[in-house]
């Protein structure tokens, strides 16, 4: 009896300890189930939920629920990411990727930086093992193809924008055919330099000369734009002066013609008197300082030049004649 009771007393702690373990296991299982039944998505993320091997994209940010042990969640970064091709990095410059050949058989170092983002998380995870590496290989192929179709001057100077545009379009076309769930955002030329210092210095001199040419052209255009209005204004002034002189000469010619007509009308009336007057006027113009005096019979003299005295003498004689005539008329009466 005593031995049986002792055995029962020994079994009590064992059962209590086993119950505590069971509670702990259940609590742990519940914690795992609860923690595995939800997940959260940030603004810059998307998730791929796989149920029995069937993936589905979840694009809405926030808290979401899933079935533990049945559904798995893989988060994908959808922000813009990038990689360099031949660009100077912390590890150094990848000269092999940067060295290219142009259409005129010149070697040149060209550095690019490409930016991309995930557009379809399911395809980005399952369509390829490493979509970023595929994009980089496509970019390298397109870059070398495009650079090989341009001359070294275009790559180093004026053709960079066109080259970037052509490379980007070529990469986008190839990415559409691969359909790996990522999209190229932009690709830019970071730097383009000749392979040797001597060639680089020569190209710098050429670039300096081109800039000097552009400056000279701009200055010439500026000078032309300044001078053309002045020249046009001067031309208008000359034309206006010429038109005024033309009108003045026309008026003068009309006046002289009218004067000649008037003289002709007087000449027709008294041709001899007009001839003499014109002769005396011509002599006065030719010999302005000459005084002509005509001595007549009986000691009478007549001043012929200058005409002012001649005209005044004629006027006086006419007045005397008129007075004598009037006196004679009075006496007769």
Torsion of CA 59, 64, 68, 74, to 10 degrees: 30
Cα(172)–Cα(184) distance, rounded to whole angstroms?
Answer: 7
What pLDDT score does 6 carry?
47
Confidence category of residue 93, pLDDT binned at 50, 70, 90: low
* DSSP 8-state assignment for residue 299: G
Quick one: what percent of the chain has pLDDT higher than 90?
27
Lowest-confidence region among 55-59, 90-94, 165-169, 286-290:
90-94
As a whole number, mean pLDDT of residues 182-200 equals 84
Cα(165)–Cα(1) distance, rounded to whole angstroms?
Answer: 99
- Please give the residue that has the higher pLDDT: either 150 or 266: 150
Q: 226-264, pLDDT tens digit by residue?
A: 889 888 888 999 999 999 999 999 999 999 898 888 878
Task: Please identify which residue in the block is written with the tokens 């149920």.
Answer: 51
- β-bridge partners, 193: 109
pTM value is 0.52
283 — phi, psi (to 5°)? -60, -40
- The number of residues in the chain equals 333
Across all residues in the chain, what is the average pLDDT? 78
Which among 48-57, 60-69, 117-126 has the top mean pLDDT? Answer: 117-126
CB atoms near residue 270 (< 10 Å): 11
Residue 167 exposure: Cα atoms within 13 Å on the Cβ side: 31
What pLDDT score does 329 carry?
53
SS3 at position 19: helix
Cα(59)–Cα(41) distance, rounded to whole angstroms?
Answer: 8
> Is the separation of the CB atoms in 304 and 282 below 8 Å?
no
Say if residue 141's pLDDT is above 50.
Answer: yes
């Amino acid at each position: 009896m005593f031995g049986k009771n002792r055995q029962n007393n020994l079994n009590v702690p064992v059962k209590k300890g086993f119950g505590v373990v069971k509670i702990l296991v259940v609590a742990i299982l519940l914690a795992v189930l609860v923690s595995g039944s939800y997940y959260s998505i940030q603004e810059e993320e998307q998730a791929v939920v796989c149920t029995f091997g069937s993936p589905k994209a979840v694009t809405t940010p926030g808290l979401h629920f899933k079935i533990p042990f049945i559904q798995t969640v893989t988060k994908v970064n959808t922000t813009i990411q990038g990689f360099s091709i031949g660009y100077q990095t912390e590890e150094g410059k990848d000269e092999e990727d940067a060295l290219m050949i142009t259409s005129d058989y010149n070697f040149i170092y060209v550095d690019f930086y490409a930016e991309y983002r995930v557009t379809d998380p399911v395809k980005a995870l399952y369509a390829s093992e490493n979509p970023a590496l595929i994009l980089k290989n496509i970019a390298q192929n397109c870059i070398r193809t495009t650079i090989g179709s341009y001359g070294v001057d275009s790559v180093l100077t004026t053709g960079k924008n066109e080259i970037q545009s052509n490379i980007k379009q070529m990469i986008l076309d190839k990415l559409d055919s691969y359909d790996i769930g990522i999209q190229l955002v932009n690709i830019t030329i970071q730097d383009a330099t000749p392979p040797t210092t001597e060639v680089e210095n020569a190209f710098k001199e050429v670039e300096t000369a081109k800039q000097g040419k552009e400056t000279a052209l701009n200055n010439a255009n500026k000078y032309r734009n300044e001078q053309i209005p002045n020249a046009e204004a001067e031309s208008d002034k000359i034309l206006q002066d010429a038109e005024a002189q033309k009108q003045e000469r026309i008026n003068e010619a009309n006046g002289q013609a009218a004067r000649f007509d008037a003289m002709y009308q007087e000449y027709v009336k008294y041709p001899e008197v007009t001839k003499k007057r014109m002769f005396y006027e011509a002599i006065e113009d030719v010999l302005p300082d000459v005084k002509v005096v005509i001595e007549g019979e009986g000691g009478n003299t007549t001043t012929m030049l200058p005409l002012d005295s001649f005209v005044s003498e004629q006027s006086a004689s006419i007045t005397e004649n008129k007075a004598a005539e009037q006196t004679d008329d009075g006496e007769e009466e």
